[in-house]
Amino acid sequence: MASDSAKQPLLLALLDPTPQTNKRDTPKRRRFRRCKSAPLAEYNPGQVNANVASLPHSQSILDRLHPSFKRVAVFLTIYLGVGTLCFYLVSPQINGNKTNGVLDAVYFCIVTMTTVGYGDLVPNSVPAKLLACAFVFTGMALIGLILSEAADYLVERQEILLVKALHISEKVGQMEIMDEIETNKARYKCFLVFVSLLVLVAVGTIFLMAVEKLDLVDAFYCVCSTVTTLGYGDKSFSTKAGRVFAIIWILMSTTCLAQFFLYIAELYTETRQRKLVDWVLSRKMTKEDLEAADLDNDRVVGAVEFVIYKLKEMGKINHEDISLVMEEFENLDVDQSGTLSASDIMLAQSSETVK
Amino acid sequence: MASDSAKQPLLLALLDPTPQTNKRDTPKRRRFRRCKSAPLAEYNPGQVNANVASLPHSQSILDRLHPSFKRVAVFLTIYLGVGTLCFYLVSPQINGNKTNGVLDAVYFCIVTMTTVGYGDLVPNSVPAKLLACAFVFTGMALIGLILSEAADYLVERQEILLVKALHISEKVGQMEIMDEIETNKARYKCFLVFVSLLVLVAVGTIFLMAVEKLDLVDAFYCVCSTVTTLGYGDKSFSTKAGRVFAIIWILMSTTCLAQFFLYIAELYTETRQRKLVDWVLSRKMTKEDLEAADLDNDRVVGAVEFVIYKLKEMGKINHEDISLVMEEFENLDVDQSGTLSASDIMLAQSSETVK
């Protein structure tokens, strides 16, 4: 019992120095900060962009881009380059509504990789058909990579600008903006992507009406058919100008809709997780819980026991996490004192040198 | 220091009773078991299927299905029912290669919701076009729901059968199979879905050759064009028998490929997470780490401090998790003793009754 109460300051030391009262009514979700020496490449891209907005402006645009974003850009360039070359070489074996050799090859490549597949250009020989099969599978994988790495990075950058803009009238610091973003992350991202999608739909519809001379319903129908990658193909981009626009617009709008669905799913998961946390915290402790949480059987539950019981109930930690770390602790605790001190570390290092 | 060593048995009590030696070489990943009273609906479907195989066989098939799976089946039935009715009613306004009224309506509905969109049937009036727009968006959302809830459930059930079959010669218990599945979850799922995909591709190709009289390359090209939802539409299902087959096969094969990509992503994330855990555990403790982990500034790091430091470094827990739980602990600790006992709980309940 004494040891449990002695433990409490340790846990309190983990917490913010601010008073704990009413913390749950005004939750300030602080971003977990990575240990400085942790390997960057191993990390979730969502967790390393915290300081993106504070990068010095003197860096070049390329330097300021996130490594995973740069990698995706390189892959996309290679893919489109090779795809265009291949389809340009087999262009005599592609039937349909043609405009300009290279332009049609890029357009066909984009229509294939995004799985829109209008069918306004169709491969008409064995090699051309097999090429299309190869490019649609690799294209899907590439779109998946764009969605998982680059898109999220772009949205997070915009998110910071959005929240800054929303609070432009108030004097708020970088820290408050970060907290605000952290609390409503999934919601802001959904909102941003939804607005981008509306803009892309509007731009596409207007363009199809102006350049491809479609009426409003047909233009909207073609836009819907494209962003969803449905691509019936009865309406598509048939002019040179239309195809130049399509190359950029199709890639942006299809990934935007897919990202929107991903963020909806994220928002749903987050809400569900928060509900579980609220339920775990607000649930009344019963005598059975008390017994289950009382790991050392001293008939009282200390702060540490309580934290571990609740975190396990929330699904944040499990037996294995703790057992792996404890094993490491025992290995490090060379003098078996039950604590790690500077001498343990020196002993461990010297014993390794001996080996 | 004394309090830290006193704490160690508490943490050890969390762990398996088996000896801890060489645990990392033969990791037995035990599934985190949910507290019995936790709300089922709030839970990740992946976490509640542990006992699916041990359900009594006397239950009807419908009763044995997971609630989220049943929900998806109901949604899909309603969607296809309403879709078929709508497209049947506007069938005079749909142009193209027609076979049978109702069959074409179901087929058009499936081709639209999966975003295959061959274009062998196209809406040719304002209401029909707007209907198609509405059905493609809702269809995408439904496919997303199938992927997130039902597909994973089906794969997990098959996974249990697969692992049982692989170990049929050895005498292994339910627990060992569960451990085996838990350890290589993502890998088995990828493998299962990949094999299913190969079977679906083969079945589709043979069917197209036999019934739609396509040659091998055209049949394979049409299959690839379909499973990826590309759907150029130069080759599609044009006979009655073909469309009956297509209704089931398109839905299965497109979700199967999408699920395969999802599992690849899951496997990648899991590998990355495991690498991070390994890195955190194998990293040499430096004096700086020792200082950072020493939360109560007693110049030594106890087991609890070490576990918390390492779990934070792994990104499993953060300040907020602990602060929320600690706040709850303080609320419950009515007598401010630093521990929870039966009397605290009784006091809390009686004070609530007074309010």
Residue B138 in domain = yes
DSSP designation for A341: -
Can you say whether the dihedral through the CA atoms of B274, B276, B278, B281 is positive or negative? negative
Q: With beta carbons less than 8 A apart as the criterion, state whether B302 and B4 touch.
A: yes
Q: Is the pLDDT of residue B106 over 90?
A: yes
Structural domain includes residue A143: yes
In a domain, B122, yes or no: yes
> Any idea what DSSP says for residue B151?
I
pLDDT band at B312 (very low <50, low <70, confident <90, very high): confident
Sequence-distant (≥ 6) Cβ neighbours of residue A275 within 8 angstroms: B42
Nearest C-alpha in A relative to B114: A230
Closest CA–CA distance from residue B247 to any residue of chain A (Å): 16
Residues A232, B233: C-beta atoms closer than 8 Å: yes
Q: Which residue in chain A has the smallest CA separation from B9?
A: A296
Residue A95 amino acid letter = N
Q: Do B144 and A261 touch (CB under 8 A)?
A: yes
Instruction: Indicate which of A1, A5, A7 best probes the interface with B, i.e. most B CBs within 10 Å of its own CB.
Output: A7
Task: Read off the DSSP letter of residue A213.
Answer: -
pLDDT value for A1? 40
Q: Which whole number is the average pLDDT over B134-138? A: 95
Single-letter residue type at A106: V
Contact pairs from chain A to chain B, CB under 8 Å: 361
Q: Is the pTM of this model over 0.80?
A: no
| The pLDDT value given to residue A201 | 97
Q: Which two tokens stand for residue A165?
A: 């803009």
Extended beta strands in A74-202, E state: 94-96, 121-123
pLDDT for position A31: 38
This complex has an ipTM of: 0.77
The reported pLDDT for the residue numbered A328 is 83
How many Å is the maximal CA-CA distance in chain B? 85
Return the pLDDT at B113.
Answer: 95
State the pLDDT at residue A68.
Answer: 79
Give the C-alpha distances (Å, rounded to integers) separating A338 from A334, B299, B313. 9, 13, 21
* Count of structural domains, chain B: 1
User: Between chains, do A140 and B228 touch, taking CB under 8 Å as contact?
Assistant: yes
pLDDT at B294: 79
Residue of A nearest to B287 (CA): A342
Distance CA A287, CA B345 (A): 8
pLDDT at B12: 52
Q: Which domain holds residue A179?
A: 61-275
The pLDDT of residue A174 is 67
Q: CB within 8 A of B4, min separation 6: which ones? A: A338, A339, B298, B300, B301, B302, B303, B304, B305
- Bridge partners, A95 (sequence order): A122
Average pLDDT over residues B182-188: 78
Query: Which residues on B lie below 8 Å from A272 (Cβ)?
Result: 42, 44
Residue A3 lies in a domain: no
Name the more confident of A292 and B7: A292
Q: Do B341 and A300 touch (CB under 8 A)?
A: yes
Using the beta-carbon criterion (under 8 Å), do B287 and A342 form an inter-chain contact? yes
Q: Which residue of B has its CA nearest to A286?
A: B345
Task: State the number of CA atoms in the 13 A half-sphere of A94 facing the CB.
Answer: 28
Q: Residue A285: which of B9, B304, B340 has the nearest Cβ?
A: B340
* pLDDT for residue B62: 58
- If DSSP codes are grouped into helix, strand and coil, which group holds residue A344? helix
For position B241, what pLDDT does the model report? 94
| Distance of residue B53 Cα from the nearest chain A Cα, in angstroms | 22
Smallest CA–CA distance, residue A140 to chain B, in Å, is: 8
pLDDT given for residue B45 in this prediction: 39
pLDDT score of A12: 52
Full pLDDT tens readout for chain A, 355 residues:
444 444 445 555 555 444 333 333 333 333 333 333 444 333 343 333 333 344 444 456 556 677 778 889 999 999 999 999 999 999 999 999 999 999 999 999 999 999 999 999 999 999 999 999 999 999 999 999 998 888 878 887 777 777 777 776 666 666 777 776 677 777 888 999 999 999 999 999 999 999 999 999 999 999 999 999 999 999 999 999 999 999 999 999 999 999 999 999 888 888 888 888 888 888 877 778 888 887 777 777 877 778 888 888 888 887 777 788 888 888 888 777 778 887 777 777 676 555 4
Tell me how long chain A is: 355
In the numeric block, the tokens 């599934």 are attached to B31
Return phi, psi of residue A94, to 5°.
Answer: -110, 125
Q: Do A224 and B137 touch (CB under 8 A)?
A: yes
- The mean pLDDT of chain B is 79
Provide the CATH number for the domain around residue B196: 1.10.287.70
CB contact under 8 A, B322 and A15: yes
Of A5, A14, A117, the CB nearest to B322: A14
Nearest neighbour of B317 by CB, restricted to A136, A257, A316: A316
Separation between Cα atoms, residue A45 and residue A155, nearest integer Å: 12
Q: Are the beta carbons of B122 and A209 closer than 8 angstroms?
A: no
B6 band by pLDDT with thresholds 50, 70 and 90: very low
Is pLDDT at B49 greater than 60 in this prediction?
no
> Would you state the structure tokens that stand for residue B196, as one six-digit string?
């299913």
Closest Cα in chain B, distance from residue A218 (Å) = 8
Exposed e or buried b per residue across B118-141, where buried means at least 16 C-beta atoms within 10 angstroms of its C-beta: bbbbbbeeeebbebbbebbbbbbe
Query: Could you tell me the two tokens for B11?
Result: 């943490």
- 3-class state of residue B227 by DSSP: helix
Which chain B residue has the Cα nearest residue A10? B296
Chain A residues touching residue B112 (CB < 8 angstroms): 230
In the structure, what pLDDT confidence band is assigned to residue B354 with cuts at 50, 70 and 90? low
pLDDT score recorded for residue A240: 94
Determine the pLDDT at residue A324. Answer: 82
- Which residues does chain B have within 8 Å of residue A281's beta carbon, measured at their own beta carbons? 324-325, 328
Q: Is residue A354 part of a domain?
A: no
Return the pLDDT at B231: 93
DSSP string, B255-295: HHHHHHHHHHHHHHHHHHHHHHHHHHHHSPP-HHHHHHH-T
**pLDDT-based confidence at B35, cuts 50/70/90?**
very low
Calculated CA dihedral for residues A280, A282, A288, A291, nearest 10 degrees: 80
pLDDT(B114) > 90: yes
Q: Is position B185 within any domain?
A: yes
- Please give the pLDDT value at position B155: 81
**Chain B: residue nearest A230 by CA?**
B115
| pLDDT band at residue B224 under the 50/70/90 scheme | very high
**Cβ B339–A233 below 8 Å, yes or no?**
no
| pLDDT for residue B40 is more than 50 | no
